[in-house]
Chain A
Amino acid sequence: MSGTSPVLEVVDLVKHFEAGRRLTGGRGLVHAVDDVSFELRRGEILGLVGESGSGKSTVANCVLRLVEPTSGTIRLNGTDITHLSRRKMRPLRRELHMVFQDPYSSLNPRMTVGDIVGEPVRLHRIAKGRALDARVEQILDDVGLRAELRYRYPHELSGGQRQRVGLARSLILGPSVLIADEPVSALDVSVQASILNLLRDLQSTMGFSCLFITHDLATVEYLCDRVAVMYLGQLVEVSPRAELFRNAQHPYTQALLSAAVVPDPAVQRARRQVVLEGDIPSPLAPPSGCRFHTRCPLHDLSAPQSEEEVPELAEFSPGHLVACHLVKPGRPSPRLVEDAADIVSAKTA
């Protein structure tokens, strides 16, 4: 399943936005992404998890070159695409595409479904006329839409159908990388299920790698092979899926796991919950050192180092990386509650 060379490599990615002018003069700098490095392997689904301000969507936009990275390197199938010109980037866009969160604004209301889905094929001059139609019909069938919907306009379709159209558009050229930015968050529960199932099926038949961006851990557990957790522009933990849910190391990850509600009252009410104090700090003024230290329940144990030094994303166990001063292989792990299982469920307690 995992090939030797990664299909997407992101190295030391940094993106700072200039915020509006402040009345006191001088501009603010939004530290959207700071030194993020990860790789996406062939055929895998990597979940990128974070809350507002984590920078996960910005990472996606940088990879797609929708915004220019401030610094860092992005490699697609070995090719450095970080600073490629528009023209040079075009042919490579066949390999890389994205599904968006909002089913309403991601489709041009003035184009029919057939036009929308066929646009990549037309723009890359791969097929025309009858051949183009055939490809459009095929991909519509693959995503579970009837062929006659080609003649419809987006506003005539439901949210779920629109997301399917978005998927069809991104997959029609058979890219090697699909970035899915919260593709189901705006949909109803029952519709979410069908889109998630569809994504899983398509990924196994078409074999593309997927960077799945979300804030919902339950979806991550359902879909992803590996998980990367971001907080305020930085990666705090990267781990294979089962390991993350069983043995999360970073206090933020543990808090996140604790905060996710479980649709089962017996379990949910028996859990010991960790409620973080305060708000997520603004990316305009991220805390010094470990950005999580202002909300970390274990702050006393890690001070003063956590206030001054940025923790490195270091290997805790094979494949499991953590950025925390309290986490060292061989040392007892930081725990927000006595029993790790309590964060997740009371079943094993």
Chain B
Amino acid sequence: MSAVDTVTLTSPRARRRRLLRKRFLRRPMAVAGLVVVLAFVVTAIFAPLLAPYSAGATDFNALLAHPSAKHLLGTDSLGRDVLSRIIWGARASMQAGFFSTVLAILVAVPIGMIGGYYRGWVDTVVARVTDVLLAFPFLILAVGFAAIFGASLLNATLALGIGAVPGLIRIARGETLALREEDYIPAAIANGAGDATIIFKHILPNMTSTLIVQATVTIPTAIVGEAVLSFLGLGVQPPTPSWGTMLQDAQSYLSTAPRLAIFPGLAIVLAALAFNVLGDGLRDILDPRTTR
């Protein structure tokens, strides 16, 4: 009995979700990635509940302390608990990671789609805009923002978002170019659909898998980017904790207490890796050609 002959009681959307879940569970790496990502997100959201100490709490009796029962990862030069600061620091990283990516998608996708759909001079304009944006690495943008508006997490996030825009424009444009060659596009035109309907109803929904995957790998770049900017003083300002500022503080103690650099460094690596692995897995399972 073929699948089409049996009458099913579940909706097609539910069936597809089940299938995707099954595929996902067959990939231990992707599952691990998801678990770690969720762990970081939960940590960021529930930092006040999870962190043993508040972000700025100092303990002058335990300066540069080694890991102990009281301070699981030790303390820094001001007696602040390293573990708590890493937990609080997750907030900055997750915020920067997610919001910059969301911003980038909201800006880049419409631009890319319009260029890819209309071609001609519109596309040329889009291409040039992309080229101009590419000429400004996020670092330079961040320096610029900091100079004009002052350094803060918000400005760092903006800079990271804008930095991610050209890459996403290219992807959105490429997908649009490919999708508009599918026969259901002329079919929609023959139905009497206007450009807006075609772009939003026919092209965009077919791009979502690619966009989800792309977002999942843009976020780690933003996380690392935020750490870089905060390290340089262009992002989160002390005393607010950020993995980047922790690295900045750890510089002077590299020979005596390398753990002050290692722990935040590991956090950055782990977070970025988890997102990348998750993204790989998602790309795999969402590909229509995947058979398992």
A315 at the interface (CB under 8 A from B): no
| Neighbour of B288 across the interface among A106, A151, A152, A155, CB < 8 A | A155
- Report chain A residues within 8 Å CB of B194: 86, 90
Which candidate, B88-96, B180-188, B226-234, B260-268, is the interface stretch facing chain A? B180-188
Chain A's closest residue to B7 (CB) is A148
A166: CB under 8 A from chain B?
A: yes
Taking the complex as formed, is A96 at the interface, i.e. its CB lies under 8 A from any CB of chain B?
yes
Check if B202 sits within 8 Å of A152, measured CB to CB.
no
Q: Which of B16, B183, B194, B202 has the most CB of A within 10 A?
A: B183
Q: Are B12 and A119 in contact (CB under 8 A)?
A: no
Please report the total number of A residues contacting B with Cβ < 8 Å: 39
**At the interface, yes or no: B3 with Cβ under 8 Å from chain A?**
yes
Is A349 part of the binding interface, using a Cβ–Cβ cutoff of 8 Å?
no
- Choose the segment among A108-116, A304-312, A316-324 that binds chain B (4+ C-beta atoms closer than 8 Å): A108-116
B residues contacting the other copy or chain, number (CB 8 A): 23
- B186, B188, B202: most-surrounded residue (chain A CB, <10 A): B186
Interface flag for A38 (CB, 8 Å) = no
Beta-carbon contact of A152 and B184 below 8 Å: no
| B206 adjacent to A108 (CB under 8 Å) | yes
* Complex contact A108–B4 (CB within 8 A): no
Say yes or no: A102 contacts B183, CB within 8 Å: yes
> Considering the chains assembled together, what is the distance between the CA atoms of A66 and B184 in angstroms?
12
Query: Residue-by-residue, is B15-39 near A (CB-CB < 8 Å gives 1, otherwise 0)?
Result: 0100000000000000000000000
A90 to B3, CA, bound (A): 38
In the complex, which residue of chain B has the Cβ closest to the Cβ of A148? Answer: B7
CA distance A169 to B206 in the complex (A): 20
Report the Cα distance A94→B193, complex, angstroms. 11
Q: By the criterion CB–CB under 8 Å, are B12 and A120 in contact?
A: no
Q: Is B120 an interface residue (CB 8 A)?
A: no
Asked if A153 and B12 make an inter-chain contact with CB atoms under 8 angstroms apart, the answer reads yes
Q: Which residue of A lies closest to B205 (CB)?
A: A110
State A120–B187 Cα separation when bound (angstroms): 10
A98/B186 contact (C-beta < 8 A), A152-B4, A156-B3, A158-B4 known: yes
- Taken together as a complex, chains A and B put the C-alpha atoms of A166 and B192 apart, in Å, by 15
Q: How far apart are the CA atoms of A90 and B190 in the complex, in Å?
A: 9
A157 within 8 A of B: yes
In residues 135-160 of chain A, which contact B (Cβ within 8 Å)? Answer: 148-149, 151-153, 155-158
Q: Contact at B4–A156, with CB atoms within 8 Å?
A: yes
Chain A residues, CB < 8 A from B12: 112, 151-153, 156
Most buried by A among B12, B190, B202: B190
Among A61, A86, A158, A169, contact of B187 (Cβ-Cβ < 8 Å)? A169
> Which chain B positions have C-beta within 8 A of A109?
206, 288
Min distance, Cβ B108 to any Cβ of chain A, angstroms: 21
Q: When A106-B183, A110-B206 are in contact, do A123 and B193 touch as well, CB less than 8 Å?
A: yes
Can you name the residue of chain B whose Cβ is closest to the Cβ of A170? B190
B122 at the interface (CB under 8 A from A): no
User: Bound complex: CA of A108 vs CA of B204, how far in Å?
Assistant: 11
B194 nearest in chain A by CB position:
A86
The reply on A17 being an interface residue by CB < 8 A is no
CA of A93 to CA of B190 in the docked complex: distance in angstroms? Answer: 6
Determine whether B125 belongs to the interface, using a CB cutoff of 8 Å to chain A: no
In the complex, which residues of chain B have a beta carbon less than 8 angstroms from the beta carbon of A61? Answer: 186
Q: Does A24 sit within 8 A of B, measured CB to CB?
A: no
The verdict on B189 contacting chain A, using a C-beta distance below 8 Å, is yes
Which of the residues A64, A107, A112 comes within 8 Å of B186, measured between beta carbons? Answer: A64
CB <8 Å contact, B4 and A157? yes
With A66-B189, A90-B194, A93-B192 given, name 16 new contacts (CB 8 A): A64-B186, A64-B189, A64-B190, A91-B192, A97-B191, A98-B190, A100-B186, A102-B183, A109-B206, A119-B193, A123-B191, A149-B4, A152-B12, A155-B288, A156-B12, A169-B191
Name 29 interchain pairs, CB-CB below 8 A, sorted by A: A61-B186, A64-B189, A64-B190, A66-B186, A86-B194, A90-B192, A90-B194, A93-B191, A94-B192, A97-B190, A100-B183, A106-B184, A107-B187, A108-B182, A108-B188, A108-B202, A108-B205, A109-B206, A116-B184, A119-B188, A119-B193, A120-B191, A123-B192, A123-B193, A124-B192, A152-B4, A156-B4, A158-B4, A161-B4
